[in-house]
Homo-oligomer: A and B are copies of this chain.
Amino acid sequence: MTFTRNWLDHAEGSVLVEYGRTRVLCAASVTEGVPRWRKGSGLGWVTAEYAMLPRATHTRGDRESVKGRVGGRTHEISRLIGRSLRAAIDLKALGENTIQLDCDVLQADGGTRTAAISGAYVALADAVDWLAKRGALAKDPAATLPHSVAAVSVGVIAGVPMLDLCYEEDVDAEVDMNVICTGTGDFVEVQGTAEHGVFDRARLDALLDLAVAGTAELARMQREARG
């Protein structure tokens, strides 16, 4: 996974994540203030939107703007990204500011959601630095964003637990698990699904081991990218 920071000129934080042939553009936009339901709380807000360009995939998909509605998968991934990043940040230190993460898949070749989360963290960190430079935070950047966050997808393919480095999304995994960890190896989110059959505790443990190792490696790459 490679991270190209400052890929955009306007955004307060931005990174192009590449993971095999998958490319996701993550942008962090800072705005003063928070949504109405949060006003006066003294807390900030972090939220995310994920989307895919129509020709990111092998066959062109219809645009959700043209269809007039956001699909269930898009909603689900957007919410996952937002939740993960909120777990990493001290919303009190952020103060009543909002950071909106946009993760747009330019090309999809497996692992788009994990690339999006890992890249969104880097964009978020840059936006936090941007706020710190303006004196807008209650704590220093390291305390405002105490955890780094990286995601991997692990799965069981043909009976073998594997770290999903760069497989096609449509490979028929028996178990498919997204694991999001901090740079210190704690869990932020664990999502394991068996669309075909079920999995026992031993398998779950094996997958978690793989995932923890994988996210540690990504955390190292994120640190390098952030210099």
Contact segment of A102-110, A130-138, A157-165, A217-225: A102-110
Q: Does A49 contact B (CB under 8 A)?
A: yes
Chain A window 202-215, contacts with chain B (Cβ cutoff 8 Å), 1 for yes, 0 for no = 00100010001000
Q: Does A78 contact B (CB under 8 A)?
A: yes
**Within the oligomer, what is the number of copies of this chain?**
6
Q: Are A31 and B14 in contact (CB under 8 A)?
A: no
What's the dominant secondary structure at chain A's contact region? mixed
How many residues in A have their beta carbons less than 8 Å from beta carbons of B?
Answer: 67
Please pick, from B57, B65, B200, the residue contacting A65 in the complex, using a CB distance under 8 A: B65
- Chain A residues 185-214 with CB under 8 Å of chain B are 185-201, 204, 208, 212
Distance to closest chain B CB from A168 (angstroms): 11
Q: Are B201 and A208 in contact (CB under 8 A)?
A: yes
Distance to closest chain B CB from A119 (angstroms): 13
